[in-house]
Structure 1
Amino acid sequence: MTIRLKATTILAGFAPAVLLGAMATTAVAQDAIRVISHRQPALEYYTNQMIKALPEGRVTAELMPIDKELELASITMSSQSDAIDVVYLNDASFRRFAANGWLEPLDDLWEKYKDEYDLDDFPPSVIEAVSYDGHIYSMPILTNTELFFYRKDLLEEAGINPPATMDDYMAAAAEMNSPRRAGTIMSLKPVDAALNEAHWYMNAIGDGWFDENWRPIFNNEAGVKAITALKEMSQYAPRGFTSHANDESTINLQQGLATMGLQWFTRAAAMDNPEQSRVVDLIDWVAPPGGGARIANDGYAISKFSSADREEVFKMLAEAASKESMLEGAKFSMPPRLSILENADLAKQYRWYPAARKALETGAAFPAMPDFLDVGEIVTRHILRAVTGEAEVQAALDQAAQETEELLASRGYYEN
């Protein structure tokens, strides 16, 4: 019997083994194309577009937090199981999955259908972002960038301009912090959320993560200054910030429990949703102070081990990524198609677009290495030790750098 789930289904809280078992059960339904995805508004929209692209019952979709989704996908694909057909991957996880040989190359289908679906409308930078070792592996769905959200009414009342530098940000958060409302959100749940936050500080204040030979530089003087600033800023964050990710920080902004902070473009529309938000029309956006916040090109890839018809799956993805679909989806995420990015009406319709365009100019992607998420597990663990006072900042970063070098040396990054 086919178990068909709607794209809005949430599987948070289930252990990966349980999820894998549940998906294995659905594998008996040979006609169902199985999609797993991170859960956020833009991806809810695009998975629904996939469901609508084929007859009813042909597509099932499960949405869950990013850490659970990636763990489930890793368990499934490393065992060469066909329990998953399509997986959502962000820029960092994509490289690891492609390097492991878990994804189906799409070059032939891209060439075959490029005119029908106007695939040349994706700029070369986006195609490069979904390619690995010269092959296209993913259908680009959204260009995402982190924005700086702030309560324009509260800052205006206090006579504070939107922060342009990290020093401005620190001063504004300190002044706006109160028992009633945190000065800033802070998302330090390992690994993805904490890595995003640290990435901003490492670029805006530090010198980045690595030198040209993949040797860590995040423990140099500038890196120590960056994480020291993160530690100091944490005193203005809500309680429990070390377990907060995007959902928790979004809610804190929506419910008026925090004044400002870093959050994804894809969460902007939720601020003006009267069914969810108490701050409709009170939030505004600028490019993150100091620049260097994360930008990402994310998409959906076909599992190398899928037993579904790859051409049908590709066409389903292409329909979801069509011009018409992305124009409608622009309210949730920044589409990676040139024709839509150049649409002047979007800036009038969605008031966070001007800030997003500026953020794209000043942002920075994660380092282009397949193993960066594994590095992130090491780095975020030690950054949290520093932020919570368990270790001195320099000592924590030195330990992280040592473990990172050992990991990368074991994977052949350095010549003997």
Structure 2
Amino acid sequence: MTIRFNVKKKMKVATATLLLCSVATGALAQDAIRVISHRQPALEFYTQQMVEALPEGRVTVELMPIDKQLELASITMSSESDAIDVLYLNDSSFRRFAANGWLEPIDDLWEKYRGEYDLDDFPKSVIDAVSYDGKIYAMPILTNTQLFFYRKDLLEEAGIEPPQTMEDYMAAASQLDSARMAGTIMSLKPVDAALNESHWYMNAIGDGWFDENWKPIFNNAAGVEAITKLKEMTENAPRGFTAHANDESTINLQQGLAAMGLQWFTRAAAMDNAEQSRVVGQIEWVAPPGGGARTANDGFAISAFSSADREEMFKMLAQAASKESMREGAQFAMPPRLSVLENTELAAQYRWYPAARAALESGKAFPAMPDFNDVGEIVTRHILRAVTGEAEVQEALDQAAAETEELLASRGYYN
């Protein structure tokens, strides 16, 4: 199913002005491949790899804050201009661009160059994250996944094995919970943090969020069980968990105020930061028990309106995302290639890499719909009503499902 969305006409009016400004800067060579991207260290590295993949002068790169980059891309592509050839997209903006028909599918090139660039080295969860409506639209560049953090010393002292199932996790959290230390962190601040935590439960215990026709299923019996277990787990969480997101949960782990829990890969290094952490060397990681925790992937896509050679652009992206490139880029962000995550030198330097590999294989991205963030605002509001006892779990999820279905119907998801 392909969903298309209207872009405000005033954005199209502004297109010519913006494009003229770009040309006036003299940044573009007449026949160069124009790449636009968010500016941050990892993306600076990978866009430089694109520049070096082709002869000098063939690639120009413009780096800017992400809001400006997405605004420029939206304006340019809604007018069907060929002024942009390749663009960076995060996992949420990617779906909107793909749904609007602004991106070039690359399945044929992926298959053609599968062997040359070892594209099977990307796990299925990563490929799924850069796919929409059954087609691949972007080259994966950065990946992030949620890991299960736990205090190895405390588990060993209590005779507890690292949790492999949600039942193991609940039992361990309950056993370790005390007045001095919470059994687990929980990040239930709306919207993103609460949606991430709920996503794990909905996949590990429930049946996921939607059926194949985008009808909500998170309020079925398995979904009710999932949120009931989440509610039970909050008994072992720190006070104020409904206002906790990544920062608060990271601090609780660093300061020894919680024994374990779900957290992002990018927070792993903070556990061994001697200037901030009281638990240096004591935290270990495994894939989240039960699987299904969130994976997020960013990449570079080819504009559907580009007049440049699409095969040349694909090879440029594939070279930037090669094993060799990603081994070097691992210093900036987690590479999505399994072979790089398995690299023994990286595993020795970054203790959490082996767990990240396992988490990527068992993880799941958010549903591939452009409107899932809007759905998340609805769902997390009602999940928190259930968790805090304002409503029964079934009642809260039924209300969330009804509001979600109404929203999606208004946006053309159902015939």
Is 1:365 the counterpart of 2:369? The answer is no
1:309 CA displacement: 11
**Is 2:147 aligned against 1:150?**
no
Q: Which amino acid aligns with 2:89?
A: Y
Q: Which range moved further: 368-377 or 284-293?
A: 368-377
Alpha-carbon shift at residue 401 of structure 1 (Å): 0.8
Residue 50 of structure 2 corresponds to residue 47 of structure 1: no
Q: Deviations over 1:142-198 (max 9, x none)?
A: 343321101112222333332233233223323433454332222223333222211
With structure 1 as the length reference, what TM-score do the two structures score?
Answer: 0.73
Counterpart of 1:401? 401
Instruction: Indicate conservation of the 8 Å contact 1:46/1:320, yes or no.
Output: no
More displaced stretch, 304-313 vs 384-393: 304-313
Give 1:293's aligned residue.
Answer: 293
Larger Cα Rg: Structure 1 or Structure 2?
A: 2
Contact 1:209 1:216 in 2 (8 A): yes
Equivalences for 1:160-199 in 2 at 5 Å? 160-199=160-199
Q: Tell me how far 1:83 sits from its aligned partner.
A: 11
Q: 1:101 to 1:77 in 2, by over 3 A?
A: farther
1:261 aligns with 261
Structure 2 residue identity aligned to 1:45: A
CA contact (8 A) 1:96 1:370 kept: yes
Instruction: Read off the aligned partner of 1:397 and give its amino acid letter.
Output: L
Write the mapping of 1:199-348 to structure 2, written as runs, cut at 5 A: 199-301=199-301, 320-330=320-330, 333-337=333-337, 339-341=339-341, 343-348=343-348
Cα distance in 2 between the residues matched to 1:306 and 1:204: 41
For residues 189-227 of structure 1, the C-alpha deviation after alignment (integer angstroms, 9 at most, x for no partner) is: 333322221111112222222234432221122212211
Q: 1:29 to 1:152 in 2, by over 3 A?
A: farther
Distance change (3 Å), C-alpha of 1:59 and 1:247: farther
Structure-2 residue corresponding to 1:118: 117
Alignment correspondent of 2:7:
none
Gaps of 5+ in 2: 1-17, 29-34
Distance 1:335 1:218, change over 3 A: same
Say whether the 8 Å CA contact 1:36–1:86 is kept in structure 2.
Answer: no
Query: Contact 2:129–2:365 (CA<8 Å) still a contact in 1?
Result: no
Give the aligned residue type for 1:328.
Answer: E
Question: Matched residue of 2:278: which SS?
Answer: coil
Task: Confirm or deny: 8 A CA contact 2:85 2:308 kept in the other structure.
Answer: no
Partner AA of 1:160 in structure 2: I
- Following TM superposition, by how much is the alpha carbon of 1:246 offset from its aligned partner in structure 2, in angstroms? 2.7
Gaps of 5+ in 1: 1-23, 38-42
In structure 2, the residue corresponding to 1:397 is in which secondary structure?
Answer: helix
Asked if 2 retains the 8 angstrom alpha-carbon contact of 1:106 and 1:135, the reply is: yes
Say if 1:391 and 1:74 are closer, same or farther in 2 by CA, change over 3 A. farther
Q: Give RMSD over aligned pairs.
A: 4.3
The count of residues paired between Structure 1 and Structure 2 equals 384
Is 1:31 matched up with 2:32? no
Work out whether 1:385 is the aligned partner of 2:381: no
Structure 1 letter corresponding to 2:47: M
The reply on whether 1:101 has 2:97 as its aligned counterpart is no
Closer/same/farther in 2, CA of residues 265 and 386 from structure 1, 3 Å limit? same
- What is the deviation of 1:349? 4.2
**Counterparts of 1:277 and 1:69, CA distance in 2:** 35
Contact 2:78 2:102 in 1 (8 A): no
Distance 1:136 1:213 in 2: 20
Structure 1 stretch 362-371 or stretch 71-80: which is displaced more?
71-80
CA deviation after TM superposition for structure 1 residue 316, in Å: 7.5
| Post-superposition offset of 1:291 | 2.3
**Which residue in the other structure is 2:9 paired with?**
none
Which whole-Å CA distance do the structure 2 matches of 1:412 and 1:243 have between them? Answer: 34
Partner of 1:87: 88
Q: Deviations over 1:342-394 (max 9, x none)?
A: 54554444332332333334333333444333322221221122223332222
Within 1, Cα distance between the matches of 2:241 and 2:68?
A: 22
Instruction: Identify the residue that residue 15 of structure 1 maps to in structure 2.
Output: none
**Letter of the structure 2 residue corresponding to residue 248 of structure 1:** E
Q: Report deviation, 1:48.
A: 4.0
Kept after mapping to 2: 8 A contact 1:292/1:364: yes
SS at match of 1:211: coil
Q: Does 1:137 align with 2:133?
A: no
Question: In the aligned structure 2, how far is the partner of 1:127 from the partner of 1:167?
Answer: 30
Deviations 1:294-332 (A, max 9, x none): 234432346678999999987885565332331133366
- What code does the residue aligned with 1:387 have? V
CA distance in 1, matches of 2:409, 2:195: 21
User: For the residues of structure 2 that align with 1:62 and 1:247, how far apart are their CA atoms?
Assistant: 25
In 1: Cα distance, 2:245 partner to 2:307 partner? 34
Mean CA deviation greater in 202-211 or 272-281 = 272-281
Q: Given the superposition, is the C-alpha separation of residues 220 and 293 from structure 1 closer, same or farther in structure 2, using an over 3 Å criterion?
A: same
| 8 Å Cα contact 1:267-1:332 kept in structure 2 | no
Segment of structure 1 superposing worse, 359-368 or 341-350: 341-350
Structure 1 residue 403: Cα displacement: 1.3
